[in-house]
Structure 1
């Protein structure tokens, strides 16, 4: 347990990681500020010292994970011409799909204040699906210029189809449905196959 008044390095990340462990192990009903701080080995009140309540904390957790994926996707245009188009697209799609445990997404969607905070932040420009879509579009356009995709490829439409589908899979959770990673791989193969068939 960290002593009171002593700064904790990477506190946000420590609390976020702790919350994900609690949710994975015990489910949404077990997520309380006390459970999170106990799992993180922090003083009981530290979460409320740094966040405006549990809903704000959950929203920040979701936004942080989306921002991480957006940062990964930002490097995608620089990969144009390397590896294969399907491999590059699949990597960023799976990074988004696996950015959050479905339990975290479900919790955020069922808590009205957390959901509103997330939607507001994304609308105000917080990095998320729109930023990922822009990066995928820029990547596809670069591959078109290199001749690895057909000149008629609509990069923005392909990016929308890919990111929109992954968003749907992420938000609806895995449950008893088929493994969404396989569905993402099939979608990428279809989208890239259509684009290369036009060449």
Structure 2
């Protein structure tokens, strides 16, 4: 437990990580301010010192994880021509599937006030699925220009299908869902028109 009055570096990320640990271990019903701060090892009022309440906290957690994945997708131009197109797309799909796992994404849906805050932030320009989709489409177009992707590939449609399917998996995947990597590899193989690696 941090001593009273001592600043805690990166407290937001510490609270976000603690919330994910509570969710993974005990599920959404156990997510309370007290559970989060207890898991983070900080004072009980720390969450409310940084967020207006639990709904704002949940919204900021989801938005933070979206932004992290958007940054990773934004780095795709640096890997154009390197590894395989499939490997690069699988890496982004995995980042999406794991950055705001099904439990975190599902939590936002069960909290209408948090969902509204997320929607407003995305409409105001916060990075989310649309940003990630745009980065993937740009990457695919660059790979097509290099000849590493079939000429005439509808890059925006492939990007939409990839992001949309991952969004569906995030919102509906049961706790015993197949391994995220296997799902990502199968999806990318279908989208690129190749054989599934797990057929």
How does the TM-score come out when normalised to structure 2? 0.92
2:152 maps to what in 1? 152
Higher mean displacement: 171-180 or 153-162? 171-180
What is the CA–CA distance in structure 1 between the aligned matches of 2:92 and 2:101, rounded to whole Å? 16
- 1:43 aligned onto 2:43: yes
1:133 maps to what in 2? 133
Deviations 1:2-36 (A, max 9, x none): 12222110000000011111111111111111111
- How far does residue 87 in structure 1 lie from its aligned partner after superposition? 0.4
What is the CA–CA distance in structure 2 between the aligned matches of 1:6 and 1:27, rounded to whole Å? 31
- How far does residue 178 in structure 1 lie from its aligned partner after superposition? 4.1
- How far does residue 179 in structure 1 lie from its aligned partner after superposition? 4.0
- 1:115 aligned onto 2:115: yes
Number of aligned residues: 194
Contact 2:94 2:180 in 1 (8 A): no
Deviations 1:96-132 (A, max 9, x none): 0111232222211101101111111112111111111
1:100 maps to what in 2? 100
What is the CA–CA distance in structure 2 between the aligned matches of 1:36 and 1:175, rounded to whole Å? 21
Contact 1:106 1:173 in 2 (8 A): no
- How far does residue 92 in structure 1 lie from its aligned partner after superposition? 0.4
1:17-56 correspondence runs (5 A): 17-56=17-56
- Give the root-mean-square deviation of aligned CA atoms: 1.4
Matched position secondary structure for 1:193: coil
- How far does residue 176 in structure 1 lie from its aligned partner after superposition? 4.2
How does the TM-score come out when normalised to structure 1? 0.92
Consecutive unaligned residues of structure 1, counting only runs of 5 or more, are: 195-199
1:172-187 correspondence runs (5 A): 172-187=172-187
2:197 maps to what in 1? none
- How far does residue 58 in structure 1 lie from its aligned partner after superposition? 0.7
Contact 1:169 1:180 in 2 (8 A): no
1:5 maps to what in 2? 5
Consecutive unaligned residues of structure 2, counting only runs of 5 or more, are: 195-199
Contact 1:2 1:42 in 2 (8 A): yes
What is the CA–CA distance in structure 2 between the aligned matches of 1:170 and 1:15, rounded to whole Å? 22
What is the CA–CA distance in structure 2 between the aligned matches of 1:122 and 1:171, rounded to whole Å? 17
- 1:165 aligned onto 2:165: yes
1:78 maps to what in 2? 78
What is the CA–CA distance in structure 1 between the aligned matches of 2:176 and 2:5, rounded to whole Å? 46
